[in-house]
């Protein structure tokens, strides 16, 4: 990924979250997705992911990931089985319903607040709050 958008003089690209007033409507989005929506180069150069990068959002999760760094953490059989599991789940649950909920919430929020959110494809119908030991779903 070219770093130029992050160093642009007038409007540098920044990681961001969903506006608090939109999040109060039970809408969340990951900065890892929103950064690509905001990056003007994504439309022409696409988005590249490195499946070998391993992260953990808590100490316990990170230890689980690091412990397996020399093993075949995502072997071909696991990848194939999860791809088919994902397809089957999509056949029996339509993302259209969730997309419609999010779209309505964004439209109402935009109308009421005058705000603009271009990252609709990154948003999900959930709310997370910061608690003493990390994040909790509400």
Q: Tokens standing for 76?
A: 């071909």
Structurally, the chain folds into a number of domains equal to 1
Q: What's the pTM?
A: 0.67
Direct distance between the N- and C-terminal alpha carbons of the chain, in angstroms, rounded to an integer: 34
Q: Is 44 exposed, middle or buried (0-12, 13-18, 19+ CB in 10 A)?
A: exposed
> What is the model's pLDDT at position 38?
94
Residue 64 pLDDT > 80: no
φ, ψ dihedrals at 130, nearest 5°: -80, 125
Cα–Cα distance between 12 and 3 in angstroms, integer? Answer: 10
Pairs from 104-109 (Cβ < 8 Å, separation ≥ 24): 105/22, 105/25, 105/26, 105/27, 106/22, 106/27, 108/25, 109/19, 109/21, 109/22, 109/25, 109/27
Out of 4-18, 53-67, 99-113, pick the least confident: 53-67
Which residue range forms the structural domain that includes residue 61? Answer: 4-137
Residue 123's DSSP bridge partners are: 29
Q: Tokens standing for 21?
A: 């007033």
> What is the model's pLDDT at position 77?
86
């Amino acid at each position: 990924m070219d770093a130029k958008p992050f160093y642009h003089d007038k409007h540098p690209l920044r990681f961001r979250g969903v506006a608090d007033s939109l999040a109060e409507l039970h809408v969340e989005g990951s900065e890892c997705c929103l950064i690509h929506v905001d990056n003007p180069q994504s439309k022409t150069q696409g988005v590249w992911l490195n499946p070998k990068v391993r992260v953990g959002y808590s100490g316990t999760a990170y230890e689980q990931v690091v412990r397996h760094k020399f093993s075949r953490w995502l072997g071909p059989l696991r990848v194939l089985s999860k791809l088919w599991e994902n397809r089957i789940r999509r056949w029996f649950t339509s993302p259209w319903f969730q997309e419609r909920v999010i779209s309505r919430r964004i439209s109402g929020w935009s109308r009421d607040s005058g705000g603009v959110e271009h990252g609709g494809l990154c948003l999900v119908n959930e709310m997370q709050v910061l608690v003493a030991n990390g994040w909790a779903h509400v």
